[in-house]
Amino acid sequence: MPYDAVKMKEWQIAEAAEASMPTPDEWREKLGLNKDELLPYGKISKLDFLKIIERLGNKPDGKYIEVTAITPTPLGEGKTTTTMGLIEGLGKRGLNVGGVIRQPSGGPTMNVKGTAAGGGNALLIPMAEFSLGLTGDINDIMNAHNLAMVAVTSRLQHERNYDDDQLKRLSSMRRLDIDPTRVEMGWVLDFCAQSLRNIVIGLGGRMDGYLMQSKFGIAVSSELMAILSIVKDLADLRKRLDDITVAYDKKGKPITTGDLEVGGAMTAWMRNTINPTLCSTVEYQPVMVHAGPFANIAVGQSSIIADRLALKMFDYNVTESGFAADIGFEKFWNVKCRYSGLIPNVSVLVATIRALKMHGGGPKVTPGVPIPDAYEKPNTGLVEKGCANLIHHLNTIRASGINPVVCINSFHTDTKEEIEVVRRAAEAAGARVAVSEHWAKGGEGAQELVDAVIEACKQKNEFRFLYPNETKLRERVDKIAKVVYGADGVDWSPEAEAKAKAFEADPKYDEYATMMVKTHLSLTHDPTLKGVPKGWRLPIRDILTYSGAKFLCPMAGSISLMPGTGSYPAFRKVDVDVKTGKVHGLHDVD
């Protein structure tokens, strides 16, 4: 250790490291767990959340470290890589450290992005299991979600085929009078399958279902995944799984999973999903994997359950927010921390020289296409201009009262002069700055970052939310748009404004979180606008409602819940060694 990250592919590094990965018995001893608190699943194990949290509940929490990023190139900034590298770096010091990250979806893994296991020597193992289903949490969520759709579509068929007396005699059901044109939920599948975005179901005779339009989303966009990320325990999960709006009746009243009497069965499918899965870095520090919410419409974080557990088990817990600080950190700050009651000690803002060049006016970066030569050549001018985006995100973190640390995720093409430009800009904005070579050198290369994070953890926070909980929806959106995005204001479509007024007039929506829907590729709603655009307004065209998760999602632009598979998907490189059964070809860009 470390491995030669230049010559070796990620799956090769993972394969080499997995040969000495701790066994379940070794993990029990290393983590001080009781025998019944670790649940082995092949090469990996789950942690029994209810048992461990009951035993450690009175123990003081460790330090809470969040990792976010500047507005990324389409190739990402390396948040997961930095998260793994920081955990390895703290472990190199002999500190009791662990981390929490989200589970990747099969869609991006088999599409353009590849798996989200980190990179180089800052990598999560076992990589194949992590990338290809892990312990089946996403599969359980798919089954529970699709069971709700089975419940509503079969109910439509039976209510059409039988009168009220027959319904009551045959199945003790009351008529719900569901509007078949307002079945909102749709089905889910854990792949990018654009051909399933809009479908027709129920073709055939009267016993073949109800003929209607329907749709598919990717599994991690399911409201059930969002719910898993924010619940505190199994009882909280059970309650929320009765509150999901599946459809509306012909008078416009919501039809919930509770009305369909399916919430209990959905919880049965998901009962094991509350237990985080124990994985590790290639340097054998523990990392919990839990939840995988769709960051655009959901909270975009690893779970509250896993963070609660990690803060009791470790002296330092490193967690990660999806996308850049305008989306991931904002939701971490104003939603996750509000729900969990956990206050972070420090936020690490990840930046790369290549992304700063892009924000400074560099050429377009396209996934699946070789990065333009301009990003491989020194250009302090582009870096200096691009630092405006970095400073904007730093100011967002500082607005929360959380201590910021800038991590320059180092590439071999970075020059000392370019790095110095970033260091000067960040320090002038009041942030600690560290250059980290974790990709190339693992924990050893992250020591400058470790120093900065430990020092930041010693400093007292003055944590504060962007808005108090009683703030009404439109005022919340206006504040997020102006403070976090840099907009001049918000323009509401007539439909969105009418919905907002209705939500504001109904007290039950006061407890709903505001979950903004916006591109991650720009501070604005337009993914082509880089840097820190000025003189623009945020358009809100609609508001999505998630009654189980209790989210209101104002939409700035359009979003598809079912991504499409690109022209050069990652699955073309993935294969199995038929002699050993080992998977190769999995790759990562985040």
Catalytic residues: 79, 81, 102, 113, 295, 323, 411, 439
The dihedrals phi and psi of 357, each to the nearest 5 degrees, come to: -65, -40
Q: How far apart are CA 199 and CA 214, in angstroms?
A: 5
Q: How far apart are CA 123 and CA 137, in angstroms?
A: 21
Q: How many CA atoms lie within 13 A of 582 on its CB side?
A: 14
Contact 550, 210 (CB under 8 A): no
- Residue 443: DSSP 8-state: G
Whether cis (ω within 30° of 0) applies to the bond prior to 533 is no
Q: How far apart are CA 390 and CA 352, in angstroms?
A: 10
Show the beta-strand stretches assigned E in 472-541. 490-492, 513-514, 538-540
Q: How far apart are CA 428 and CA 217, in angstroms?
A: 44
Q: How far apart are CA 9 and CA 412, in angstroms?
A: 16
The owner of tokens 């916006």 is 518
Strands 513-514 and 551-555: parallel
Q: How far is CA 520 from CA 71, 73, 472, 474, 528, in A?
A: 7, 9, 25, 21, 11
Q: How far apart are CA 133 and CA 583, in angstroms?
A: 13
Name the nearest CA neighbour of 543 among 524, 519, 522, 517.
517
Residue 460 structure tokens:
């007292």
Q: How far apart are CA 25 and CA 33, in angstroms?
A: 10
Rg (CA), the chain: 24
- Residue 261: DSSP 8-state: T
The owner of tokens 């394969």 is 15
Q: Please, which residues bridge with residue 543 across strands?
A: 554
The dihedrals phi and psi of 115, each to the nearest 5 degrees, come to: -75, 165
The owner of tokens 């500047």 is 70
How many other β-carbons are positioned within 10 Å of the β-carbon of residue 36? 8
Residue 323 structure tokens:
């996308």
> Which conformational region is residue 196 in: left (phi greater than 0), alpha (psi within -120 to 50 degrees), or beta?
alpha
Calculate the CA 201 to chain-centre distance: 31
Range 198-204 contact pairs with CB under 8 angstroms and sequence separation of 24 or more: 201/153, 202/153, 202/157
Q: How far apart are CA 344 and CA 333, in angstroms?
A: 9
Residue 394 structure tokens:
């730093």
Helix, strand, coil percentages, rounded to 5, for the chain:
40, 20, 40
Q: How far apart are CA 202 and CA 211, in angstroms?
A: 4
